[in-house]
Structures are given as C-alpha cells and as structure tokens.
Structure 1
Amino acid sequence: MEGMRFHLQVELDDAATPETTTRELSRILRYWAGNLHHYDLTPGTTEDIHDSTYAKAGSWTITD
C-alpha cells in the first residue's frame, strides 16, 4: 500500500471516570476534525493535542 499514515496518540487518565474519558476524547476528535483544513497533510506534519484544560494530551503526525 502506497501513501501516507495518520497517527493519533492521546494519553488518557487512568483515574478519570469513563464519562470523563469519553467526553475528553470526543472533544479532542471534534476539535481536530473541525480544524483539519488548517493543516498541511503531508508526511512530517505534526501537532500537539490538548485537553479541555489546555494541558498537552498527545499529538498527531503524518508519516510516509
């Protein structure tokens, strides 16, 4: 298969309730998808992901 890969890594808090985890992950995915048009989706592009408190929660990267 030729092309590129999209990698999304999010650190989830083990102490969080399932509802909080679902809410935070849903927010992260909505925010990222809503801002997709701002990014150059070519290999090497990367961006940090933040939770609702603006703390770094992970990152996404485009690779070959």
Structure 2
Amino acid sequence: MKFRLEVDIDDAASADESARELGRILRYWGGNLHHYGLRPGDGSAVHDSGHREVGRWSVVSAETP
C-alpha cells in the first residue's frame, strides 16, 4: 500500500502560521485514522481550520507511481 497526502499551504502565511496549520491538519487526520479501512481507492479531501478544502489524501496500490 502507498499512502499519499497533499496539502496546499497558503503562500501568504508566515512559516510559523503554516507550520501550526499543517500540524492541526495532521493531528485531525491522525485522530480520525481509525475511521478508514486504508485500502487502495480510499481517500478524502483535507480541510484546514477554516473548513476550506486544502488538499487530499489517498491510498493507492504499491505499484502506482
């Protein structure tokens, strides 16, 4: 299995703000990990603390580049 996470961070935010926001996103996603089967084809949108879609995570087969 291959896990992919892609998040677009606001270029206008400072490095500290970006790091805090990414930390919140990762904590939220990690806390909900048990809700997912983590099988190839699983995935979902990723949202920031303002509930804006900022990326996506997905599980793909190990052979997918």
Give the TM-score band, short-chain normalised. Answer: over 0.9
1:25 maps to which residue?
Answer: 22
**Which residue identity is paired with 2:19?**
T
Amino acid at match of 1:19: D
Query: Would you say how many aligned residue pairs link Structure 1 and Structure 2?
Result: 61
Q: In the alignment, which residue of structure 2 is the partner of 1:49?
A: 46
SS at match of 2:9: coil
Identical-pair percentage: 51
Q: Give the CA deviation at 1:19.
A: 1.1
1:63 and 2:26 correspond = no
Gaps of at least 5 residues in structure 1 are none
Name the TM-score, length of structure 1 as normaliser.
0.92
Extract structure 1 runs of 4+ deviating beyond 3 A.
none
Select which of 9, 14, 19 maps to 1:12.
9
Structure 2, unaligned runs of 5 or more: none
Q: Report the 3-state secondary structure (helix = DSSP H, G, I; strand = E; otherwise coil) of the residue aligned with 2:10.
A: coil
Give the CA RMSD over aligned residues: 0.5
TM-score (norm 2): 0.91
